């Protein structure tokens, strides 16, 4: 049976085993999730004690996304849906933070993008906005110098939208936090020095000021000046055309929340332990492997109930639906196989998953389809 699954990516099945091993190493206590909400382009999993933080986060991110795209075009967008994780408290954030002064993170991998923000950050929405711009630049300009990327994140983190009648404008250039105070009497910035040093907290003011003076006229890839003279920082108001649609927020189902927990836990060092629902979904991996083993032993009638259970516990896993479809086909349950393939196509999260699901679909003759 596994030979017939050869077109599926073997690394996916190996990663399943690795994820099980990782989960076994982490403590198994419960985590109380407060809120999990979805908007058109974002998902916020809020563990903090502030219930409305999810709504506030989604509202800010959707408006910032619209403003950024109105300013710079469709290419200035992060992959959707972008996931945001808000830890339970300051202590839980400290377990996730890399540096003591850090208040937010953006992390990315082949199949995921996460923003993590300290819910107790003094300027929470600015920190959230800063990390979102990292996600945007990761798509639009992935090779910017670190200081320039951080400076642009600071620059756009304080973007304000103003609407009067039918006219909307973006207000840019307000210094975040204490940046003006940190600059002091500085009147020029050495770009070579800024680019050669390790970017610490005290360098963010210079990075912001340099980005302010270089942007938006600088073309990424063009030579940078050795020094930049700086003076004052007047606010910039730019008229933009915003869509009139209003974003709607909807709660995630228990299964969707559990899958997010597992994804976060398996991609983030020192992630908190799973809730009961997350643990139940995590157990689906072992159920899936047990079913796959029975299928490999040419016992599809025993394998199918286990694979069905696993897919129902983790319904967004395209490769599991494909395995179930192939097992249905082996048992000559062709209508069920066709339905499972449809689920596999609908839940595919990458081109390779879509291709393998379509390959399996094409293996059924037209007369076999319901």
Interval 47-56: pLDDT, tens = 998 889 999 9
**Sequence ranges of the domains in the chain:** 3-22+274-368, 31-250
Using a cut of 0.85, tell me whether the model's pTM lies above it.
Answer: no
C-alpha neighbours within 13 Å on the C-beta side of residue 280: 12
Interval 258-290: pLDDT, tens = 989 998 998 898 999 888 888 888 899 899 999
Three-state SS at 167: strand
Residue 140 corresponds to which tokens in the numbers above?
């639009």
With tokens 């808000």, the residue in question is 86
- Amino acid 163: pLDDT: 86
Whether the ω angle into residue 216 lies within 30 degrees of 0, i.e. cis, is yes
Question: Vertex 342, ends 340 and 346: CA angle to 5°?
Answer: 115
Interval 2-50: pLDDT, tens = 334 433 433 333 333 333 333 333 333 333 446 899 999 999 999 998 8
CATH class (in words) of the domain with range 3-22+274-368? mainly alpha
Residue 350 corresponds to which tokens in the numbers above?
């990458």
With tokens 């198994």, the residue in question is 28
- The DSSP result for 203-257, as a single string, is GHHHHHHHHHHHTTTPPTTSPPPSEEE------EEEEE---------EEPPHHHH
Residue 33's closest CA among 286, 292, 333, 260? 260
- Positive or negative torsion for Cα 281, 286, 291, 295: positive
Residue 153 corresponds to which tokens in the numbers above?
């994140």
Q: Which residues pair with 36 in a beta bridge?
A: 45
- CA dist 133 and 118 (Å) reads 17
- Return phi, psi of residue 274, to 5°: -75, 150
Interval 338-348: pLDDT, tens = 999 999 999 99
């Amino acid at each position: 049976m596994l030979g017939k699954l050869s077109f599926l990516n073997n690394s996916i099945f190996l990663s399943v085993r690795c994820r099980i091993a990782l989960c076994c190493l982490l403590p198994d206590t419960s985590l109380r999730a407060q809120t999990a909400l979805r908007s058109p382009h974002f998902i916020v999993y809020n563990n903090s004690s502030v219930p409305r933080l999810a709504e506030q986060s989604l509202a800010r991110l959707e408006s910032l996304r619209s403003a950024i795209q109105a300013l710079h075009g469709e290419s200035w967008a992060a992959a959707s849906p972008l996931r945001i994780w808000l830890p339970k408290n300051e202590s839980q954030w400290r377990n996730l933070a890399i540096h003591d002064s850090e208040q937010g993170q953006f992390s990315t991998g082949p199949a995921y993008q996460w923003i993590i923000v300290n819910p107790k950050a003094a300027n929470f929405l600015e920190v959230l906005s800063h990390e979102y711009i990292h996600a945007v630049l990761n798509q639009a300009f992935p090779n910017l110098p670190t200081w320039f990327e951080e400076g642009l994140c600071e620059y756009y983190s304080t973007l304000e939208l103003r609407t009067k009648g039918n006219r909307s404008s973006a207000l840019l250039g307000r210094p975040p936090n204490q940046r003006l105070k940190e600059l002091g009497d500085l009147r020029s910035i050495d770009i070579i020095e800024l680019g050669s040093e390790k970017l610490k907290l005290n360098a963010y003011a210079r990075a912001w000021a340099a980005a302010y003076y270089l942007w938006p006229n600088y073309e990424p890839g063009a030579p940078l000046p050795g020094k930049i003279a700086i003076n004052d920082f007047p606010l910039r108001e730019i008229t933009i055309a915003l869509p009139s649609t209003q974003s709607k927020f909807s709660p995630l189902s228990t299964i969707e929340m559990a899958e997010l927990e597992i994804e976060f836990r398996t991609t983030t060092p020192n992630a908190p332990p799973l809730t009961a629902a997350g643990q139940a979904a995590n157990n689906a991996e072992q159920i899936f492997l047990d079913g796959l083993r029975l299928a490999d032993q040419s016992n599809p009638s025993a394998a199918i109930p286990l694979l069905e259970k696993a897919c129902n516990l983790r319904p967004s896993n395209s490769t599991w639906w494909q395995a179930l479809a192939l097992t249905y086909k082996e048992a000559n349950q062709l209508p069920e196989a066709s339905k499972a393939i449809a689920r596999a196509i609908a839940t595919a999260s990458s081109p390779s998953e879509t291709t393998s699901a379509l390959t399996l679909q094409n293996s059924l003759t037209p007369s076999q389809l319901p």
